Chains A and B, each alone.
Chain A
Amino acid sequence: AQTVTQSQPEMSVQEAETVTLSCTYDTSESDYYLFWYKQPPSRQMILVIRQEAYKQQNATENRFSVNFQKAAKSFSLKISDSQLGDAAMYFCAYRSSAGSARQLTFGSGTQLTVLP
């Protein structure tokens, strides 16, 4: 079974600065998908960024980028130019590409505070 670990329960960043959230995972598969979801106090889980394991290029979405290290099984999220609206719980998630797999395996989450 796959596991996802987020070792930072809480992080804080000054507005306009850069912060990196860590995520490691354990799997014996070679093909899979990785996601970062954001859950603000409004509760809705929003997809921030996604990465396919067989693509070597790191995904980027505006101020959000990932550092995907397949050999190290690491998938960190970098938020540049942090904004107050980035404050949320961030979850890293894994999905197998095998068969009809639909389940997401979530990490325990990192609570990000943005300081004005």
Chain B
Amino acid sequence: DTEVTQTPKHLVMGMTNKKSLKCEQHMGHRAMYWYKQKAKKPPELMFVYSYEKLSINESVPSRFSPECPNSSLLNLHLHALQPEDSALYLCASSQDLGGGRASYNEQFFGPGTRLTVL
């Protein structure tokens, strides 16, 4: 299995709703990532989990709350979002052998969740 899956594919929510995005991989990767991507722009890193611990939080507002229940799963909990949070949310995973020359450590991306906040 060499893919990253994300659910749902599309999500429409109001500013008072609480929802969650889910990401799953079964490649044995130990690093998982959340990105936000606006149209025709590169992905912007939000969070990085390494060995199920949060290692990077790129100053993301607290209305986004990540969770890594186990090494295969990554969630992004959403609460009180703003219309400007509407975007494509991408999940990715990589082997994470600790950097160095051990590995390309390339990231494999999921198909994304298209989020619209009304």
Contact = CB atoms under 8 A, between A and B. Distances in A.
Interface residues of B, number: 30
Contacts of A44: 109-112
A28 interface: no
Interface in A14-69: 31, 33, 35, 37, 42-47, 50, 52, 54
A106 interface: yes
Given A44-B109, A97-B99, A97-B101, A106 B50 contact: no
A102 B103 CA distance: 11
Given A35-B106, A44-B109, A50-B104, A108 B42 contact: yes
Interface in A51-108: 52, 54, 89, 91, 95-104, 106-108
Interface in B67-118: 88, 90, 92, 94, 96, 98-101, 104-112, 114
A47 B4 CA distance: 13
28 contacts: A33-B105, A35-B104, A35-B106, A43-B111, A43-B114, A45-B43, A45-B92, A46-B109, A47-B107, A50-B104, A52-B101, A52-B104, A54-B101, A91-B42, A97-B100, A97-B101, A98-B99, A98-B100, A99-B100, A100-B98, A102-B33, A102-B48, A103-B48, A104-B45, A106-B43, A107-B42, A108-B42, A109-B41
Contacts of A95: 104-105
A111 interface: yes
Interface of B: 31, 33, 40-43, 45, 48, 50, 55-56, 88, 90, 92, 94, 96, 98-101, 104-112, 114
B106 A50 contact: yes
Contacts of A45: 43, 90, 92, 109
A98 to B, nearest CB: 6
Nearest to A4: B42
